[in-house]
Structure 1
Amino acid sequence: MLGLVSSSSTLVATDAFKVILPIGIGFASAAFLTMKIVTPNTDKSIQMASLRAGDSTHDDEYTDDQDEFLARCEEEYGPVFNILLLNKTLTVVSGRLIREVFMNEDFSASDAIDEFTGMRAFMHSMIKSNKDVDNRIIHEVVRDNISPNLPTFTPTIVEQLEIQLEKCLGKCEEKLIENPLTSVLQEMIAGAMANVFVGPEVAKSRKVINTFITCTADFGKVLGNSFRRKSAWRTFTTRTKYRTSLLNPMEKHIHVLVEATTPVILERRRLEAEAVAAGQDYIRPNDILQRLLDNFDKYNFVDQEDVCGHLLLLVLASVHTTSDTSTNLLYYLAAFPQYQDQLYAEQQEVLDGQQREREELRKKRLEAGEEVGEDLDPAHDRDLTAAAIKKMVHMDSFVREIFRYRTERLTLTHRARRDVTLSNGMVLYKGNNAIINMKSAHQSPDQGEDVAEFRPWRFVGKPKAATKAGSDFLPFGMGRHACPGRFLAIQQLKTVGVLMISKYSKIQIQDPSKTNKVLRSRIGEPIVTGLIFTSRQ
């Protein structure tokens, strides 16, 4: 640990030869890779869905009406069938068989993502350790350091979201925000996450906030729209770019974090040394940077650049998707204004109850002749705590229903690492890609009535929290590979929703004719109309 800052804190560019060589190899092999990626699966045990007249793939039929296309295929072929989509032969897995894909270690989601996008080279370009393809360090970091400490992080998250909301939007009457994602929500989420991940000393740097936002944009460029036609050439160029220092834009982001964290780490060490010398306990800062430093050897980090690279992976896993989904949350609030009053009433009821509880505790302490204490300062009676947000069950149901209703119908592809026989006897051979039919889970009768409709109170009074992953709710996966960051993501989403409802009496879609397109937008797609905000008086 003592040598952390001094070991490699500068970024050295690779020489030109390392750039030219992979590009030359790429031109020689591009034709072969392209031919390989479009070669149909010859598996005869799983039927290929018929093509619509005049179509050479299923792309257009799927895009025209996802639900109608999948309903046709399920009726004709059952829960497992092949389709030609995104320049790939994909095996659609539906219903109860979905669980077998998620729970079988012979399927790999990361292998599938890498095949489609070259994502692994992008991720590995940021770190020096833990590059094994099945490494779970980020999973462990989130599970051990973020999720169990959400109650202590919540005040910081709420405070930063409020600060950024006031800066970006403030009090207004019928104020048009043409792009809420870039104008408001990226700043809110990036500001909150910077304070949690690297602490307030580092987060005050505008360069750091910009890095949190722009590295996410770079991530989006690599990932691309999750449903557009893929090509081997695009995957190859992505891998080449991120394996080559001169072409890799992530280098600058790591440099920003190294530069910003170095004086902070040195100062923390100085304060710790002083405390030890004085025989006192060092009060450790409550952020993920400190936790990574404290567990430097446990996580097998190499140096400070490596720590900062892993921090960037956390940023990518949180800021990109949370900013996008928060944006969509606002459009759902605008599209269904009839529910805003009930959400606001729920907030007030929960905060009223919290205030009464704290008043009772103050009274009891005074009656017992005890000091009231800072923990019961009346100024914080109506703070948005983790416990208060958890009690807002209508907001939780609203968020879960957005995921259920909006989620892409075919997604979460898994690549078979070896031959796998499903319980219905069908075989997916090594190298086959299984894609999950989310419609069969999210629009099944098990979800209740009117599954094709948006019903925001669908889960109120049921043991179906927005964080509860399972075979009936798949946005975060399931099993041991379920996203451990979902607790942080949902907490932030609900907090954004609560703040917006509490501060704005009216949120409207600029062009109501585009409402349906907005509600079904895919992650990463540009929003086609703005939002109009009016403050509460």
Structure 2
Amino acid sequence: MIGLLSANSASMPIDALKVAVPLGIGLASAALLTIKMTSNPYDKSIPNIPVRKGDSSHDKELDENQDEFLIRCEQEYGPIFNLKALNQDLTVISGPMVREVFMNEAFSFGDAIDTLTGVRVFLMSVLKSHKDIDSRITHDLVRDNISPNLPLFTPRIVEQLERVVNEQLGYCEGKVVEKPIKIVQDMIAYAMANVFMGPEVAQQRIVIDTFIQVTYDFGIVIGRDNRKNPWHVWKNKTKYGVLNPLQKHIKVLTDAAGPVIEERRRQEAEAYENGVEWDRPLDIMQRLLDNNDKYGFIDLEDMCGHLLILILVSVHTTTDTSTNLMYYLACFPEYHEPLFQEQQEVLGQIEAEREELRQKKLQSGEFSSAEEFVGTELDPAHDRDLSAAAMKRMVKMDSFVREIFRYRMTRLDLMHLARKPVTLSNGMRIAKGQMVVINLRSLHQSQEYQGEDPAEFRPFRFLGKAKAATKAATDYLPFGMGRHACPGRFLAIQELKTVGVLMVSRYSKIEMIDPSHRNRALLSRIGDPCPSGLIFTSRSAPAKKEA
């Protein structure tokens, strides 16, 4: 091809030129006719929002009142328009047109985030396999191994969350916690370590510290906003592409996991020799070991790299939203008791149902005495456990969590980069390489989509509406939508609801140290914690143990 393009036409024989010239003209005419026939006659230019006099971008107008500004743009220019904001040219997509972005593979969320942050080199630095930028391995690992087993993982998650709460908060009368996120980090890190790596690995504090540190590193890489900063991208690509400081975290995981895996293999071999079935550990690490041929991991370091990515993404987002949930409980104390009462009612119902089932089994003769239920699935000691079934029934808490996401999310977010030219259903064309951003205000703060008072925080807004906090759709986009919807949302919501239930069951009151930061607490961006700490007051003193 290079040789053909660089050939000197002067050396071409005259007879060949006589044939080539009319042939070229004919091909050009045919191409022009084809373009005219296939071009969209309804193609429109996307309106550009004029910049206010004295401003070089729309950032100031967005900062002053983003809802008012976006509403005006939508009313005057329609659902699609161009802005200059966040140090870049953006095409804003609003309302029902948003669905076309999420459902069209030509728009890439991953490409957009990498363009803004250089995050791919951070993630790829710990992997040996599946380094293709479009690899869906992380999605598949979550889909195959976490979501289907969530009911089995729930008791372990609850156990770890409760343990950390008891150790670091416990019973308190007006205890001041300057940085509640530190407690939440431990809660989520221990829970995720148990689910992903297993209890033997998770009991090592160095592993928990690694999860927290890599989460902190990840937060720095992705930044606190969507502002385009080429220097930030360059620093990330240089740091993680050349120096690769994440290898120390991989070493921590392999050093911790290696002996555990060897012991498990020994136990499995011993069980095989004795002709008995080995009781396989319930954690993601074991499932990946059992399915290594399916996923194609190169070695233990590679597998730990994939586990590290799963963990850091889970810990980062869930820590942030769990902390934010505590602030919402502090800002809206009137909903504390209704959430607590729901929990007591649900657990009471389950306790009664289990007792009824025990009585039926006693009457049928399947069990001869109440003592025989101890150690079985109907053990009375577990009647009021926070099981997956119990959490599913707590619809007020589910609505509370969903409303936090709806209310809190930044109005312009979830950027996508066009990988090729795209013509939308209204005829407007998005050029290749253009950054589009979703106008979440047009969905999350719309009366059409959310019902009455969309500008207000109404935590029980979704009761009886079949709109669970995990349901990704056009009117609720914190987890995306379509084929690329976050598969880890089921785990994340389960953890969030559990954190909320633990808080309202143990503490009658949660307050902000400095209430003047209330708005900051409600609308804080991910990775941008509220400067005010929290004050916790327990419901009752712990029961005294009998001598």
Scaled by the length of structure 2, what TM-score is found? 0.88
Looking at structure 2, the residues matched to 52 and 312 of structure 1 have their Cα atoms a distance apart, in angstroms, of 46
- Answer with 54-63 or 120-129: which moved more: 54-63
The AA in structure 1 aligned to 2:330 is: A
Which digits, 9 at most, give the CA deviation of each residue in 1:447-469, with x for residues without a partner?
11000000011000111000000
| 2:110 aligned residue | 110
- Find the aligned partners of 1:235 and 1:516 in 2 and give their Cα distance: 31
Q: What's 1:97 paired with?
A: 97
Determine the structure 2 residue equivalent to 1:24: none
Contact persistence 2:44–2:429 (CA under 8 A): no
Q: Is the 8 A contact 2:165 2:187 kept in 1?
A: yes
Partners of 1:438 and 1:493 lie apart in 2 by 22
CA RMSD after TM alignment: 1.1
The reply to whether residue 528 of structure 1 matches residue 531 of structure 2 is yes
Q: How many Å separate the matches in 2 of 1:266 and 1:86?
A: 51
Partner of 2:319: 323
Is this contact kept in 1: 2:510–2:536, CA < 8 A?
Answer: yes
- Post-superposition Cα deviations, 1:366-424, rounded to whole Å, max 9, x if no partner, equal 11222344211111110000000000000000000000000011111111110001111
Q: CA deviation at 1:64?
A: 2.4
- Alignment-derived partner of residue 178 in structure 2: 178
Q: Does structure 1 retain, via aligned residues, the 8 Å contact 2:517–2:530?
A: no
Counterparts in 2 of 1:408-447, with a 5 A limit? 408-445=410-447, 446-447=449-450
- The equivalent position to 2:452 in structure 1, one of 449, 452, 455, is 449
CA displacement at 1:185 relative to structure 2: 0.3
Aligned-partner Cα distance in 2 for 1:407–1:196: 28
1:512 to 512, 515, 532: 515
Q: For the residues of structure 2 that align with 1:76 and 1:321, how far apart are their CA atoms?
A: 36
Q: Distance in 1 between matches of 2:241 and 2:293?
A: 26
Structure 2 residue matching 1:532: 3-state secondary structure: strand
Residue aligning to 1:284? 280
Give the 5 Å matches for 1:24-35. Answer: none
Q: Kindly state the Cα deviation for residue 60 of structure 1 after the two structures are TM-superposed.
A: 2.1
Provide the rounded CA distance (Å) in 2 between the counterparts of 1:464 and 1:483.
17
Are 1:333 and 2:335 counterparts? Answer: no
Q: Is the aligned partner of 1:199 residue 2:201?
A: no
Deviations 1:148-175 (A, max 9, x none): 1110000000000000111111110011
State the AA in 1 paired with 2:212: I
CA distance in 1, matches of 2:212, 2:147: 22
Deviations 1:412-444 (A, max 9, x none): 111111000111111101100110011111111
- Residue 169 of structure 1: aligned partner: 169
Between Structure 1 and Structure 2, how many residues are aligned? 491
> 1:367 corresponds to which residue?
363
Matches within 5 A, 1:101-500: 101-182=101-182, 184-227=183-226, 229-244=227-242, 247-371=243-367, 372-373=372-373, 374-445=376-447, 446-500=449-503
Aligned to 1:8: none
For 1:436, what is the secondary structure of its paired residue? strand
Which is higher, the Rg of structure 1 or of structure 2? 2
SS of the aligned residue for 1:469 comes to coil
Going from structure 1 to structure 2, the CA distance change for 1:358 and 1:268 (only over 3 Å counts) comes to same
How far is 1:516 from its partner? 1.3
Instruction: Write out per-residue CA displacement over residues 166-211 of structure 1, whole angstroms, 9 at most, x where no aligned residue.
Output: 11111100111111112x1000000100000000000000000001
| Conserved 8 A contact 2:44-2:427 | no
Return the alpha-carbon distance in structure 2 between the equivalents of residues 415 and 179 of structure 1.
36
Helix, strand or coil for the counterpart of 2:511?
Answer: strand
Q: Distance in 2 between matches of 1:368 and 1:526?
A: 57
Q: How much has 1:526 moved relative to structure 2?
A: 2.5
Query: What is the CA–CA distance in structure 2 between the aligned matches of 1:60 and 1:370, rounded to whole Å?
Result: 72
Give the distance between the partners of 1:137 and 1:234, measured in 2 at CA: 27
Q: How big is the shift at 1:69? A: 1.8
Give 1:52 shift.
2.2
2 CA distance for matches of 1:454 and 1:231? 33
Normalising by the residue count of structure 1, what TM-score does the alignment of the two structures yield? 0.90
In structure 1, distance between residues paired with 2:539 and 2:529: 29
- 3-state SS of paired residue (1:411): strand
Residue segments in structure 2 that go unaligned for 5+ positions in a row: 1-42, 541-547
Moved more, 276-285 or 205-214: 276-285
Please report how far the alpha carbon of residue 44 of structure 1 lies from its aligned counterpart in structure 2 after TM superposition. Answer: 8.7
% identical equivalent positions: 64
Shift of 1:53: 2.7
Kindly state the Cα deviation for residue 47 of structure 1 after the two structures are TM-superposed.
Answer: 2.0
Q: For 2:365 and 2:424, locate their aligned partners in 1 and report how far apart those are by CA, in whole Å.
A: 68
User: In structure 2, how many angstroms separate the alpha carbons of the residues matched to 1:254 and 1:261?
Assistant: 10
Letter aligned with residue 76 of structure 1: E
SS of 2:416 mapped into structure 1: strand
Spell out, residue by residue over 1:500-526, the C-alpha distance to the aligned partner (whole angstroms, 9 max, x if none): 000000011111121112101111113
Q: Residue in 1 aligned with 2:26? A: none
**2:64 counterpart of 1:56:** no
Moved more, 54-63 or 494-503: 54-63
- What is the deviation of 1:225? 0.4
The residue number in structure 2 matching 1:16 is: none
Assess if the C-alpha contact under 8 Å between 2:80 and 2:94 holds in 1.
yes
Decide whether the 8 Å contact of 2:470 with 2:490 is kept in 1: yes
Gaps (5+ residues) in structure 1?
1-42
Paired with 1:50 and 1:535, the residues of 2 have a C-alpha distance of 54
What does residue 71 of structure 1 align with? Answer: 71
2:295 aligned counterpart, secondary structure: coil
Letter in 2 for 1:512: P
- Partner SS for 1:363: helix
